Amino acid sequence: MQKSSSYLRKALFLLIFSVFSGISLKATGYGAETLRVVTTLPVLQDFVEVVGAPHVQVSSLISGLESEHTYTPKPSDMILIKKSKLLFKIGLGLETWVEALIKNADHPGLAVIVTSKNVPLIEEADHHDGEKSDHHAEGNPHIWLDPQNVKIMVAHIATALIAADPAHEGDYRKNTSNYLEKLDHLEKALLLKVSQLPDKKIMTHHPAWPYFAKRFGFEIKANILTQVGSEPSAKKMGTLIHLIQKEDIKVIVSEPQLNPKIPKILSEETGVMIVPLSPLPGALPGTEHYLDLIRYNVETLVSALKRSK
């Protein structure tokens, strides 16, 4: 009895101490332990948090404001990887910067999950105009911008969480089922809105949008950039201006992660409307979660195309 009272007093002390000091009880051995997870992209963080709630603690290596192609890792990224049991990435040559982090972290217990496995891919076009390109041999890596691909990605996430934490399998399966239902409902509503557009032609900032366009019915006439961080040649600029005028393209999709200079020049030369959309959550107001991101991108683009008639 005395031993039990002593344990309770100690637990009560730790509870009070944690409230005032900000120390988690998980670190003291009291309360349920959460599964530490790291992701390369914030969109993957969102998926893991949805499927894993409330049993996971998730961090993303990049925020929504950074380009997934050109991110420069920080020393803190390696610390996150060392503390995590699972790492989720897209693969397909997108996050080349993460491979050195994983190697240098020297964490044998880390499970690395490639979420693009079994996703039907769109091949990237070859460019014959002398420009360098972010060519990915396996296919375009921006798979998450099609909600149907997200179903496959979320299934990979659920499988990995169940393998790492079988005690909460029921919650992971239930969370996955609920999320896929929301995904289907949103996709149907957005497809209906796009179907009412007479003109669906767009030009995009870089090749992040083929899955998005294919799923929702937009027609990408050209990409301004073929390589993130580069600028189109004078010849390419002339070709883009001619194409905008010839095809009567009304909208350029720009991205907050990329330099807005070239879209602005094209807009000044042709009068084409610039519409900022984001391939990653969190870069634009109200897009912190994937469902909000897809809704924002589709509704904003539909509204712009309607106004440009």
pLDDT tens-place string over residues 126-167: 544 444 445 557 899 999 999 999 999 999 999 999 999 999
Q: What's the rounded Cα separation, in Å, for the pair 142 and 53?
A: 25
Residue 144 · residue 75 · CB < 8 Å? no
pLDDT value at residue 7:
45
* pLDDT over 60 at 84, yes or no: yes
Instruction: Specify the pLDDT at position 135.
Output: 54
Q: Decide if 186 contacts 295 (C-beta within 8 A).
A: yes
List, for residues 170-219, the tens digit of each pLDDT value. Answer: 999 999 999 999 999 999 999 999 999 999 999 999 999 999 999 999 99
User: Does residue 178 sit in helix, strand or coil?
Assistant: helix
pLDDT surpasses 70 at 264:
yes
Examine the pLDDT at 22 and tell me if it is beyond 50.
Answer: no
* The residue type at 16: I
Q: How far apart are CA 249 and CA 206, in angstroms?
A: 16
Span(s) in the chain for CATH 3.40.50.1980: 29-185, 196-307
Cα–Cα dist 146/138, whole Å: 17
pLDDT band at residue 51 under the 50/70/90 scheme: very high
The model's confidence at residue 81, banded by pLDDT at 50, 70 and 90, is very high
Q: How far apart are CA 205 and CA 121, in angstroms?
A: 20
Rounded Cα distance, 289 and 59, in Å: 14
What's the mean pLDDT when you consider all of the chain? 89
**237 burial via Cβ count (<10 Å: 0-12, 13-18, 19+):** middle
Q: What is the CATH number of domain 29-185?
A: 3.40.50.1980
Report pLDDT for 125. Answer: 67
Q: Which class is domain 196-307?
A: alpha beta
What pLDDT does 285 receive? 94
Residue % of the chain over a pLDDT of 90: 79
Query: Tokens 């990329």 map to which residue?
Result: 258
Longest Cα pair distance anywhere in the chain, in angstroms?
Answer: 87
HSE-up of residue 2 (Cα within 13 Å, Cβ side): 0
Distance between first and last Cα of the chain:
80
Residues 6+ apart with CB under 8 A from 73: 61, 97, 98, 100, 101
Q: What is the pTM of this model?
A: 0.86
Please check whether residue 35 is in contact with residue 52, taking contact to mean a CB–CB distance below 8 angstroms: yes
pLDDT at 229: 79
